[in-house]
Amino acid sequence: MPELRKDPVVERWVIIATERARRPMDFAPEVIQSRGAEGCPFCPGHEDRTPPEVYRSGGSEDGPWTVRVVPNKFPALHGDGGEVHAAGEGIYDRIDGVGVHEVVIESPDHFAGLGTLPVAHVGEVLVAYRERLIALRKDPRLEYVLIFKNHGVQAGASLEHPHSQLISTPILPELISEELEGALRYFRMKERCVWCDIVRQERRNRSRLVLEDESFVAIAPYASRFPYETWVLPTAHRSSFESLLPDEVDALARLLRELVARLGRLFADPPYNFALHTAPLRDTDPEHFHWHLELMPKLTRLAGFELGTGFFINPTPPEDAARFLRLAEAGAGATPA
Amino acid sequence: MPELRKDPVVERWVIIATERARRPMDFAPEVIQSRGAEGCPFCPGHEDRTPPEVYRSGGSEDGPWTVRVVPNKFPALHGDGGEVHAAGEGIYDRIDGVGVHEVVIESPDHFAGLGTLPVAHVGEVLVAYRERLIALRKDPRLEYVLIFKNHGVQAGASLEHPHSQLISTPILPELISEELEGALRYFRMKERCVWCDIVRQERRNRSRLVLEDESFVAIAPYASRFPYETWVLPTAHRSSFESLLPDEVDALARLLRELVARLGRLFADPPYNFALHTAPLRDTDPEHFHWHLELMPKLTRLAGFELGTGFFINPTPPEDAARFLRLAEAGAGATPA
C-alpha cells in the first residue's frame, strides 16, 4: 500500500510509492526511448496490454476508438485499501495512499499531439477529463482530482504515445489549498474572484495576453515561474471544469490546440507539463475559485536555488514570452516589433 | 534590473531576471559539455576571467589558492540598485531584484569533488560559506542567504568545475518562512525545537539514520521528496550555520564528504543539489530554528503532478534509502540484510 507522509515542520505531504520501491541499481542512466509505435501498449490492437478501460470515446465497444481512459498499470496511489487509515510514528503522521491513477490515451495515433489533432478530437480529450471528474466525485474517500500531462522525456513522460494522466488524492494538495486560501482572502476583501480580476486586467493591459476569444483567454502570468509559462482561463467565472458546456468544449479545444501548436513552432515540439486546477471534489462551486489550466514548457531545469527556497528564477519576462507567442502565428523565429 | 514579482493568489515570489531575457532561439537543445579543463574560467591561471574575488582561502594574494569566492558573472540578482523599491501594477506587486549572487569555487582541481577532496579541504569550503554569511549580514537590504550546490548537468550545473553558489535575497524565501512558521508552532506547543526532536527520534529509531557522530547526523527524512534525499543536522541545537565552531568544521566536513562519496558509490557520481537552510540574517538565533543541509540526488524528474499539486511522488521509501547508504561503505550494489 502506498503511503502519504507529512513533513512535521512545513506539513508538506509526500506520496511514498512503496510498491515501486527502487534499489540503487533500478535508477539506470537515462535512455532515450526509441521512437515508434512498435510494442507501444497504447496503440490500437494492444488494448489488452492495459488494464480494462474505464472510459472510451468514439466507436462501439470493440470497434475503433478516439480516446481511452485506463487505470495506470503502475499506480502511484490505488483504491484497493478500503477506508483511509491514519497512523502516527512518534512526531510523524501518515495516511494510507488511497486514490486513483489513470491514463488518458489521447489518440490512437502514436505520433499525434494536442497541437496537431483535429479540434474536435482535442475536444473529445477535454470531454474525457470532464467525465472522469464527474465519475470520481462519487468516491467519498477522494478529495481532489489532478489532471495533468507530461509531454516529452525531459518533462517526465515515460511513454511516447500521446497521453495525459489523472491522480486522485485523499487530501487536498498543498498548491490547491494555497490557491483556495489566497483566493478566499481576496474575495473577503474585495467581494470579487481574484482570477476574474486577473482576466480583466490582462485583457485591458494586453502585454501578457497570448490568445483570447469570447469564452477563454491564454495569458503569460505576471509572476511566471517558467519561461513561456501560459495559463488558460474561462473569461466567465467558473469554479469547476465539470461545468464546461458543449459549445465551450469546442472553443477551449481550439484555443488549447493553437497554444500547443505555437509553442511547437517556437521551440520545435518542446517538452512541457500542464496541470488543470479545478475546484475540490467536495466543494465544486466555491464563489472564490476559478478553474484554470497551467501550461509549463520545460526549457530550463529546476536546481538547488528553487528546491532550497521555493522561489523560482525565470530568465524570460512574461511580456516577452507573450509577444513571441502572439507572433508565432506568422511562423517560428519572427522578431517582434 | 531584475525584478521580484509576487503571484497575487498564492503570494509566491518569482525572480524575473530581465537582464538575461531569452528569445526563443536562445533555448537551444541541450548540449552535453565536453569534459575537461580547457577554457574553464574557474581553473587556476584563468582568475582574470571571473569578477574580482570576494574571498580566498590558502596561499598569498597572488599565489595558489584552495577556495575562491567570486561574484557570478551573470547574476540572478545584483546589488547595484541602492535601496529596494516596491511598485504596483493593478492587482500585482513587485520589488527591485536587489541581492547578491556569488560562486564558491571549491578547488583549483577541475576534476575534484566534495566526495574526493581531502577532509581539510572540504572544511575550507564550509568555512568559506560561513565567512560569506557573516560578511553579507552587514548589508541591511538583505534578508536571507541561500547557499546551494548544483552538481551535474541534470541538476542544473552549467559548468563542470566543482563549485557551489550563494544567492542573497531582499525577502525571506517561502520555504524558509514556512519552516520558521511550522517550527514556531511546534515550539509554542512543546517548548522544544522540532528538529531537536527529529534528531532524537531518528537516533533512537535508527531506521532512517545514515551517518552519525557526536556533533552531526545524516538522516533520510521521514517525508523524503526525492529518492535518497538526505539531511545533515547538528545534534546540538544551533540556529545558524555561522555558529559553526572550528572543531565542528572538521567533523561536518568528514560527514558531508562521506555522504557524497557513498552516493557516488551507489550511483556512479549522480547529479545532485543541496541547499543549506540556516536562520535569517536579521534573526540569527531564534530558539525554534535549527540549521540543516538538504541534499537531493537527481535520480527522477519533477513532472506535471508535482508542479500541479506541490506534492511529491517518491518511489524509494527513506528507510530503504538509509539502509543502502549505510551499506555503501562496503562497496556499491551490496544487498542489504
Q: Which of B311, B319, B320, B324 to mutate to test the interface with A (most CBs of A within 10 A)?
A: B311
- Model pLDDT for residues B217-259, shown as the tens digit of each residue: 999 999 999 999 999 999 999 999 999 998 999 999 999 999 9
More confident residue, B146 or A60: B146
Angle, helices A194-205 vs A174-190, to 10°: value is 80
Compare CB distances from B156 to A182, A304, A314 and report the shortest one's residue: A304
Determine the average pLDDT of the residues in B197-216.
97
What is the overall mean pLDDT for chain B?
A: 91
Q: Is the dihedral of CA A52, A57, A61, A65 positive or negative?
A: negative
* Each residue's pLDDT tens digit, B5-16: 999 999 999 999
Residues of B in contact with A197 (CB under 8 A): 91
B contact test, residue of A149, A296, A314 with most B CBs within 10 A: A314
**What pLDDT sits at residue A102?**
97
Inform me whether the C-beta atom of residue B11 falls under 8 Å from chain A C-beta atoms: yes
Per-residue pLDDT of chain A in tens (337 residues, 90 and over written 9) = 899 999 999 999 999 987 666 677 777 655 555 567 788 999 999 999 999 999 999 877 777 899 999 999 889 998 876 778 899 999 999 999 999 999 999 999 999 999 999 999 999 999 999 999 999 999 999 999 999 999 999 899 989 999 999 999 999 999 999 999 999 999 999 999 999 999 999 999 999 999 999 999 999 999 999 999 999 999 999 999 999 999 999 999 999 999 999 999 999 899 999 999 999 999 888 999 999 999 999 998 888 899 888 889 999 999 999 999 999 985 544 444 4
Strand partners, A217: A212, A233
Which strands sit side by side in the sheet containing B86-89, from one edge to the other? A312-314, B13-16, B3-6, B92-96, B86-89
* pLDDT of B333: 43
What sections of chain B are H helices per DSSP?
119-136, 174-190, 194-205, 246-267, 304-309, 318-327
| Single-letter code of the amino acid located at A23 | R
Residues of B with a known catalytic role: 163
Summarize the confidence of residues B163-178 as an average pLDDT.
95
∠ CA(A8), CA(A13), CA(A17), 5° rounding? 120
Chain B touched by A304 (CB under 8 Å): yes
Has A163 been annotated as catalytic? yes
Least confident range of A20-34, A184-198, B144-158, B312-326: A20-34
Strand partners, B230: B295
pLDDT at position B26 is 75
Q: Given its phi and psi angles, is residue A205 left (phi above 0), alpha (psi -120 to 50 degrees) or beta?
A: alpha
Are A24 and B309 within 8 A, CB to CB? Answer: no
Question: Mean pLDDT across the stretch B187-208?
Answer: 97
Whether residue B142 is predicted with pLDDT greater than 50 in this model: the reply is: yes
Q: Work out the pLDDT band at B67, boundaries 50, 70, 90.
A: very high
Nearest Cβ partner for A9 among B12, B18, B183: B183
A199 touches chain B (CB under 8 A): no
List own/partner pairs for B209-212 with CB under 8 A and 24 or more apart: B209/B322, B209/B326, B210/B259, B210/B262, B210/B322, B210/B325, B210/B326, B211/B255, B211/B258, B211/B259, B211/B325, B211/B326
The three cell numbers of residue A206 are 494586453
ipTM of this complex > 0.85?
Answer: yes
Q: Pick the closest to residue B3 from B129, B66, B93, B110 (CA basis).
A: B93
Q: Express each pLDDT in B21-56 by its tens digit.
A: 667 777 765 555 556 778 899 999 999 999 999 999
